[in-house]
Every structure is written in C-alpha cells, then in structure tokens.
Copies of this chain bind each other. A is one copy, B any other.
Amino acid sequence: MPERPLTPTSHLILGLVDTLGPCTVYDMKQLVNISIGMFWSFPHSQLYSEPARLVDDGLLSEHQEQTGRRRRILKLTRAGRKALNEWRQSPTDVKTELRDEGLLQLFFADPADTDAIVALAEARRKFHEDRVSMLKDIQNEVKDKAESTKLRTMELGFLFEKSAARFWADVAKNPPGPE
C-alpha cells in the first residue's frame, strides 16, 4: 500500500472530525461555512469525496445509520489521529495562495482607462467592506463558544479584508495612470 500523500483538504477533514467528534459531512459543512470556508472555498462535494478517500486509506471509519436519512457518521481511526497529530507538529513551508480575480484585473488594466480602474476599485472596495461586516457578525455570534485557536485564525482573514478594503479605496481615490 503506497500511501497517498495527504492534501490540505485531507487535513481539513481530519481536523474537522477531531474538532466535532463523530459527525456527518453536513456537520462539517456547517462549521466550514462560518469559519475557514470564508477564505478558502471547499465546495460540499469535496467534503463528501475526501472522506471516502480517507476511509479507503484507513484514516477514518464510517458507520451508516440503518434508519431515517441513513447518514454516514465519520470517526477518526487511530491511524487518522496519528496522521493529524503529525501534521500538527510540522509547520508548513508552502506559500499562501492569494487568488484574487480583482487583482488580476488590476494587473491587466489599461493604465489609460482610468474610468475602468476606478469602477473596478469601487466594486472591490465595497465587496471587501461587506465581508468585513459579515465577519464581524460571525465573530459576535461565536466568540463565546469557539476555541481560542479558531477565533485567532479568523483574525488574519479579518485583517486581510480590512487592508484590501483600504487598498481599493486608495486605488479608487488615486488611480494609477499612464506614463
């Protein structure tokens, strides 16, 4: 059995099952939606397909209900917990992916077309400001329940959205021009 290299998605699932205890995919989806999923999209089909692989790998066990919705309950196996803990002890050296199509548009904007640049900047500023307030709402709702590490994680996202909003406001006010 040449073991499959685990992806970030694998570790996400392992971490979620550890956080939630035995749980369904839907439970995981709920948690992802209001936390890490705010910054890193994990479509729900991934949350189904990856556990299936992890069961094959022996890192999760699954138990299907015999009644009602026949949901699958997922649990960490001993090997799964071991894999999770090893990952926890090895800080990654992978660079952050900052994939922003708005930035791509700025990169390829025509410096002579100031109107387009300002329109882009205004749209993105508003976008990031809306996200700042969404994040505030979420934070208020979870701040008493969530673990300290999870709250802390949300902070970097928060910082990013705020500097992005400021950045685009500045671009709108003082757009790059020709020459």
Instruction: State whether A117 touches B149 (Cβ < 8 A).
Output: yes
Beta-carbon contacts under 8 Å, A37-80 to B? 39-41
User: A18 vs B109: C-alpha distance in the bound complex, in angstroms?
Assistant: 11
Chain A interface, number of residues (Cβ within 8 angstroms): 65
Task: Say if the beta carbon of A2 comes within 8 Å of chain B.
Answer: no
Instruction: State whether A104 touches B167 (Cβ < 8 A).
Output: no
Instruction: State whether B97 touches A100 (Cβ < 8 A).
Output: yes
Task: Say if the beta carbon of A123 comes within 8 Å of chain B.
Answer: yes
Q: Which residue of B lies closest to A178 (CB)?
A: B148
Summarize A's interface: helix, strand, loop or mixed. Answer: helix
Instruction: State whether B131 touches A149 (Cβ < 8 A).
Output: no
Task: Say if the beta carbon of A12 comes within 8 Å of chain B.
Answer: yes
The listed residue with most B CB atoms (<10 A of its CB), out of A36, A87, A113, A177, is A36
User: A64 vs B92: C-alpha distance in the bound complex, in angstroms?
Assistant: 42
Task: Say if the beta carbon of A141 comes within 8 Å of chain B.
Answer: no
User: A91 vs B88: C-alpha distance in the bound complex, in angstroms?
Assistant: 39
User: A12 vs B109: C-alpha distance in the bound complex, in angstroms?
Assistant: 12
The smallest C-beta distance from A143 to any residue of chain B, in angstroms, reads 13
Instruction: State whether A149 touches B96 (Cβ < 8 A).
Output: no
Instruction: State whether A91 touches B131 (Cβ < 8 A).
Output: no
What residues of chain B lie closer than 8 Å to A105, measured between beta carbons?
Answer: 87-88, 91-92
The smallest C-beta distance from A17 to any residue of chain B, in angstroms, reads 10
Cross-chain contact of A176 among B11, B151, B164 (Cβ < 8 A): B151
What residues of chain B lie closer than 8 Å to A117, measured between beta carbons?
Answer: 149
